[in-house]
């Protein structure tokens, strides 16, 4: 049996396999995802062409089809048109069969036409990577067998080929919209699977990504780690990448008495940070009011639903939530004013003068409400400033 060019102990083959799969993960998260699909960074031709070649060898995926499907996922998230939502197809189908949903969508010419703009259309794409898409994985098999022998080479190749279909198409697209924690109340079911984005190159931080999809960095909190961002920083230091967009970092200055256009812009730019802070405030207020409420035990489990849009509250909980709000005027006021605040920055047909007046009025009503938590939120809103 052919033994291959190298003859290593078993643990060396395991380390090599993990290293090779990390290169593939880096290619997907840096090149396909952040560079091609979202234009969050520019890549020098050298790493860009290397990533294209590596993906051709290890995945058989085309740049245009991957970027198109992912853009459609964002545009139609959690709807029947979403190519791979566990909210539509169920978690088991996406987790274990996400690759089949990907392949199905890749054969939809309308998806490629509508969402595939700006992807490579050069000679090598049109004459090698696209028409000979599946040939690359066969070439990779030959390389692995030549280097590591028939048994180890075939095993390493099998892991390489299965890595992205399982972790990206299954885990990220499945668990990333089903299980985990949320930093932000984005208008979908996205979740951060783990705060340490190491195994899948930072893609574990999926709620952060759906909140700020054009950010080149997926980590947001101090305790989160994005391995893909570390790679991008190294490429940037070498002059091989240029970051174009990052998630906004809240800047708080002296609270303004009068809301101006800069304050309005800063509040809208940091609206997810505003809502995250508002959610914490509602939870604190909920605990205070629950202690005062008569038979407060009946309102247990409603805390998380105070910080979401009313339409997202399950029908079987709406009655209890309404009863809670009737018993607590403070909670009712804070809950209603959250909806008003969200409606303010969603108004696309209002002039800047109207929005400034509405935000000023909101702050004044919050400060005169007698609810300490609302007064603190108003003070914070007045303090936001542009970087």
pLDDT tens readout for residues 204-247: 999 999 999 999 999 999 999 999 999 999 999 999 999 999 99
Reference 346, options 258, 267, 255, 288; nearest CA is 267
Task: Please enumerate in sequence order all residues whose Cβ is within 8 A of that of 369, keeping only pairs 6 or more positions apart, or say none.
Answer: 333, 337, 375
- Write down the domain spans for the chain: 10-243, 252-385
Average pLDDT over residues 322-343: 92
Average per-residue pLDDT for the chain: 93
Residue 282 in this model has a pLDDT that exceeds 70: yes
Average pLDDT score over residue span 260-278: 93
Does residue 291 carry a pLDDT above 90? no
Contacts of 154 (CB under 8 A, 6+ apart): 141, 144, 145
Tell me the average pLDDT across 86-106: 95
DSSP 186: -
CA distance 216 to 228: 9
**How many whole angstroms separate alpha carbon 385 and alpha carbon 77?**
31
- The DSSP element (H or E) to which 42 belongs, if any, is strand 41-43
Mean pLDDT of 343-347: 90
Cα–Cα dist 175/192, whole Å: 9
pLDDT confidence of residue 204: 97
**Helix, coil or strand: residue 83:** coil
Q: Is the pLDDT of residue 332 over 90?
A: yes
Judged against a pLDDT cut of 90, whether residue 369 lies above it is answered with yes
Task: Please determine, for residue 150, whether its predicted confidence score (pLDDT) is greater than 70.
Answer: yes
Read off the pLDDT band of 297 (50, 70, 90): low
- Checking if the pLDDT of 344 tops 70, the result is yes
DSSP 349-361: SS-HHHHHHHHHH
Q: Looking up tokens 């035990």, which residue turns up?
A: 297
Residues 312, 279: contact at Cβ < 8 Å? no
Contact 241, 42 (CB under 8 A): yes
In b/e form, how buried is each residue of 171-198, taking b as 16+ CB within 10 angstroms? bbbbbbbbebebbbbbebbbbbbebebe
pLDDT the model gives residue 198: 92
Q: Which of 104, 262, 243, 252 is nearest to 169 (CA)?
A: 104
Mean predicted confidence (pLDDT) in 192-202: 95
| pLDDT (average), residues 252-266 | 93
Instruction: Please state, for a pLDDT cut of 90, what percent of the chain lies above it.
Output: 83
* Confidence check: pLDDT of 2 > 70: yes
- Confidence band of 294 (pLDDT split at 50, 70, 90): low
Which uninterrupted H or E stretch holds 62?
none
pLDDT at 308 over 90: no
At residue 120, the pLDDT reads 96
Comparing 4-8, 106-110, 113-117, 206-210, the range with the smallest average pLDDT is 4-8
Backbone phi, psi, residue 9, to 5°? -70, 165
Sign, CA dihedral 375-377-380-381, equals: negative
Residue 241 DSSP label: E
Sign, Cα dihedral of 179, 184, 189, 195: negative
Q: What CA–CA distance (Å, rounded) separates 337 from 274?
A: 13
Q: 78 near 88, Cβ under 8 Å?
A: yes
Do 366 and 375 touch, CB atoms closer than 8 A? yes
Q: What percent of the chain shows pLDDT beyond 70?
A: 98
d(C-alpha 55, C-alpha 12), whole Å: 23
Q: How confident is the model at residue 295 (pLDDT cuts 50, 70, 90)?
A: low
């Amino acid at each position: 049996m052919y033994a291959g060019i190298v003859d290593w102990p078993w643990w060396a083959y395991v380390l090599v396999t993990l290293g090779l799969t990390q290169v593939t993960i880096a290619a997907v998260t840096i090149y396909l995802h952040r560079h091609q699909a979202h234009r969050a960074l520019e890549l020098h031709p050298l790493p860009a062409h290397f990533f294209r070649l590596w993906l051709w060898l290890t995945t058989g995926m085309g740049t245009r089809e991957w970027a198109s499907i992912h853009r459609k996922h964002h545009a139609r998230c959690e709807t029947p048109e979403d190519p791979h939502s566990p909210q539509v197809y169920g978690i088991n189908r996406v987790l274990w069969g996400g690759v089949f949903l990907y392949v199905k969508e890749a054969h939809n010419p309308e998806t490629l036409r509508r969402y595939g703009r700006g992807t490579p259309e050069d000679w090598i794409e049109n004459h090698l990577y696209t028409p000979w898409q599946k040939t690359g994985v066969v070439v990779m098999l030959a390389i692995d067998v030549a280097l590591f022998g028939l048994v180890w080479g075939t095993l390493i190749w099998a892991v390489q080929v299965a890595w992205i279909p399982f972790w990206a198409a299954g885990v990220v697209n499945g668990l990333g919209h089903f299980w985990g924690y949320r930093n932000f109340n984005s208008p979908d079911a996205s979740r951060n699977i783990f705060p340490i984005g190491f195994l899948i190159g930072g893609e574990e931080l999926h709620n952060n990504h759906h909140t700020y999809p054009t950010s080149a960095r997926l980590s947001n909190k101090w305790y989160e780690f994005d391995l893909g961002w570390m790679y991008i920083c190294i490429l940037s230091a070498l002059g091989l990448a240029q970051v174009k967009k990052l998630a906004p970092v809240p800047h708080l200055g002296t609270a303004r008495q009068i809301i101006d256009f800069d304050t309005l812009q800063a509040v809208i730019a940091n609206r997810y940070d505003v809502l995250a802070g508002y959610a914490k405030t509602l939870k604190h207020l909920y605990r205070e009011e629950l202690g005062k409420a008569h038979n407060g035990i009946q309102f247990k489990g409603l805390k998380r639903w105070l910080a979401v849009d009313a339409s997202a509250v399950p029908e079987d909980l709406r009655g209890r939530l309404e009863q809670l709000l009737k018993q607590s005027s403070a909670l009712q006021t804070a809950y209603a004013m959250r909806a008003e605040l969200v409606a303010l920055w969603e108004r696309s047909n209002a002039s800047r003068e109207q929005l400034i007046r509405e935000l000023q009025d909101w702050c004044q009503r919050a400060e005169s409400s007698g609810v300490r938590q609302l007064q603190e939120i108003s003070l914070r809103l007045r303090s936001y400033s542009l970087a």
